[in-house]
Structure 1
């Protein structure tokens, strides 16, 4: 088994947090609100539509007059087309390696007095489920990935004045992951049976979200939200089976320091008249934190220390700005219609893209609607279509063009009392 193969298998705990979300690039999932999804999340920091503002901008809780519970889920239907594949191994390139995924979320916000609100939210900011076929031609770089991050966020907001509110909430984040891949036979790639490698680990990390919301005029609102980085030290194991190299099969204690990046989201909401509202927003994400991944494996025999004792992989991701515009139309007192468009560049490129994170520049089209069933009950639904540009995979033994697209459906119920 060569050093490059071990590098890929161990680093997978970090790099396979690829987004299955339909409107966030890199490692992120954006689906924390069906009402926000309808406008492409263009007004996420400046529009407090319901209790999901706890994630979008915690300061927006101050705009909710009553106790409110909001919850729902998004379902992602993703597909991948692989073309022009070439490599040292025989194998297939079926694509469609992402099973249908469900992303749940839930929030509770309640007023404490005229100035203070409290809330609690649970949502998934990062995650992936991917599963290539066993005979995948690029199987030395990844086969199966199942990683999820779940966040619990208790939050407070304070109404500073009639126009200004602020909010803050610590985040408690649990990450779990299990990943598998094949590695070359000890003699040569494609000679003899593949060696099977799996990695499993978990950790809890802590961060915070903070925001400010300002009513600039009666019609125009501006919001700013900061989502902090979260540091993890994943503890788990690396397991090797099927190798013909003496002493290589077995289980090793593995640890990996990994940081999910901070982001800043800002947007404006402009109420043109009683029917029309326009939204525009931008998000900066510090993906350059994924510069390199360093993994340590304990209990490795001296003969293999140089290969798998301490392993480093260069990622060289870049910081990105994403942009979104949207609009809502109040059709009548019960119904509001929404639409949005998002441009989301990729943090990686044709030089550093991997089969586990084959993301490229994205464009997302969104539609949505909200129905006030009663004055106390609202149902929101949304649909998004994501289309990516083609992106190349260029490794020493596997090259291909990947093109991803996805459909997303979200529903959310909000109850006020």
Structure 2
């Protein structure tokens, strides 16, 4: 492969990696918050201040003061719906007049249904407790048809993260808990999108990226319990991920045919940090009110940095964002508790920088849930949520073969419409 061909292959690969991560989830951008069925029932409104393994992801201090052990397993079924609509997206091929991108102008339900499992276990020795949680906080799959109008910026994408969080917590004084944890994360990403040939009469080419990597972050938190009031504050660090993988380009024809091939590639990106503050107040023997605010440092996802041989930095321009939630737990009797809550989440994506891989927008989440103790040591949890999203523009300009003489801009003009999601979760907790 001669130098000019290699340069175009690398430019195409850079375009692929630039679009590797994103998707509408149930919290913000590609973050999934369904790591507790109990928490989902009250719209995640009190997790950093509650105790036990169900709150371990949000606050490692939650297990301090335990006597004996507790374990939980859960799974969430996520059913997203929505339309991604073309409003006259234009492609500008070299030495040709701007033209419609063509393809099907309506993509229905491009984000796949998914099942999100998680679990946690902890054992307390009085003042000190050890715990372990396994979650998948950043995960999604999108699948656009081959003839979709969005095919040059989004085709098929899969992102999976697996977070292993060993934790330690200590009761340093009566009612005062502190905790710390490591977050060991594995990322597995695969994505593809189509490439325009120089002639609109030729079929599209295609490119595909695959990559994996292991990286480490940390969490820390504290809780204060005084009579009917519980307060919690926690921090989860950003994690800088490095993925090693390959980029494959195929199907280019005519003058671009020599650009087909496979190269090794690396990519670096960072997940957001989180600051989580919670309060719980027991208003009566049966009723507990909850409030939670989360600040997410999405500005860490400001770019995707490509290593040798690509050596490019692709801007993402995410911004820090907020989530607020209010909820309630009501104990019907010692065996049965019901919950409800509402959450408001703000998208970290910006107008002018939103693409079809990240059809994200501001959203509302309304949830309800219940717990029933079958015995003193075994409890079943269930929850359901309805999430609806504000319509938003999809308007991030992309370019095939960026930085080369055959650079081909795609002037994206689309919209996310009528987007929503249903989430159903079931879990079990066992003391031992």
**After TM superposition, is the score higher than 0.5?**
yes
User: Which secondary structure does the structure 1 equivalent of 2:258 belong to?
Assistant: coil
Q: Is residue 2:270 matched to residue 1:268?
A: no
Q: Is residue 2:432 matched to residue 1:414?
A: no
Could you tell me which residue of structure 2 aligns to residue 401 of structure 1?
Answer: 415
Could you tell me which residue of structure 1 aligns to residue 328 of structure 2?
Answer: 327
User: Which secondary structure does the structure 1 equivalent of 2:136 belong to?
Assistant: strand
1:5, 1:141 within 8 Å by CA — same for their partners in 2? Answer: no
Residue 222 to residue 379, structure 1, CA distance change in 2 (3 Å): same
Q: Is residue 2:174 matched to residue 1:166?
A: no
Could you tell me which residue of structure 1 aligns to residue 88 of structure 2?
Answer: 86
Which region of structure 1 is more displaced relative to structure 2, 289-298 or 69-78? 289-298
1:19, 1:29 within 8 Å by CA — same for their partners in 2? Answer: no
Q: CA deviation at 1:263?
A: 0.6
Could you tell me which residue of structure 2 aligns to residue 277 of structure 1?
Answer: 288
1:5, 1:140 within 8 Å by CA — same for their partners in 2? Answer: no
Dislocated runs of 4+, deviation >6 Å:
1-4
Could you tell me which residue of structure 1 aligns to residue 94 of structure 2?
Answer: none
Residue 249 to residue 4, structure 1, CA distance change in 2 (3 Å): closer
Could you tell me which residue of structure 2 aligns to residue 28 of structure 1?
Answer: 31
2:288, 2:328 within 8 Å by CA — same for their partners in 1? Answer: yes
1:344, 1:362 within 8 Å by CA — same for their partners in 2? Answer: yes
Could you tell me which residue of structure 2 aligns to residue 101 of structure 1?
Answer: 114
Could you tell me which residue of structure 1 aligns to residue 60 of structure 2?
Answer: 58
Could you tell me which residue of structure 2 aligns to residue 257 of structure 1?
Answer: 268
2:41, 2:340 within 8 Å by CA — same for their partners in 1? Answer: yes
Could you tell me which residue of structure 2 aligns to residue 318 of structure 1?
Answer: 319
Aligned CA-pair RMSD: 1.6
Residue 346 to residue 40, structure 1, CA distance change in 2 (3 Å): same
Q: CA deviation at 1:99?
A: 1.7
Q: CA deviation at 1:168?
A: 0.8
Q: Is residue 2:155 matched to residue 1:143?
A: yes
The correspondence for 1:156, drawn from 158, 165, 168, is: 168
Q: CA deviation at 1:5?
A: 5.8
User: Which secondary structure does the structure 1 equivalent of 2:138 belong to?
Assistant: strand
2:13, 2:247 within 8 Å by CA — same for their partners in 1? Answer: no
Q: Is residue 2:210 matched to residue 1:200?
A: yes
Could you tell me which residue of structure 1 aligns to residue 302 of structure 2?
Answer: 291
Distance (Å, rounded) in 2 between the aligned partners of 1:81 and 1:362: 15
Q: CA deviation at 1:311?
A: 3.4
Distance (Å, rounded) in 1 between the aligned partners of 2:167 and 2:288: 27
User: Which secondary structure does the structure 2 equivalent of 1:360 belong to?
Assistant: coil
1:137, 1:398 within 8 Å by CA — same for their partners in 2? Answer: no
| TM norm structure 1 | 0.92
User: Which secondary structure does the structure 2 equivalent of 1:181 belong to?
Assistant: strand
Q: Is residue 2:222 matched to residue 1:212?
A: yes
Distance (Å, rounded) in 1 between the aligned partners of 2:245 and 2:86: 37
Could you tell me which residue of structure 1 aligns to residue 17 of structure 2?
Answer: 10
2:9, 2:249 within 8 Å by CA — same for their partners in 1? Answer: no
Which region of structure 1 is more displaced relative to structure 2, 143-152 or 286-295? 286-295
Distance (Å, rounded) in 1 between the aligned partners of 2:260 and 2:307: 17
Unaligned runs of 5+ in 1: 299-308
Distance (Å, rounded) in 2 between the aligned partners of 1:38 and 1:159: 28
User: Which secondary structure does the structure 2 equivalent of 1:139 belong to?
Assistant: coil
1:116, 1:159 within 8 Å by CA — same for their partners in 2? Answer: yes
Unaligned runs of 5+ in 2: 1-7, 90-99, 398-409
Which region of structure 1 is more displaced relative to structure 2, 74-83 or 4-13? 4-13
| TM norm structure 2 | 0.89
User: Which secondary structure does the structure 2 equivalent of 1:56 belong to?
Assistant: coil
User: Which secondary structure does the structure 1 equivalent of 2:263 belong to?
Assistant: strand
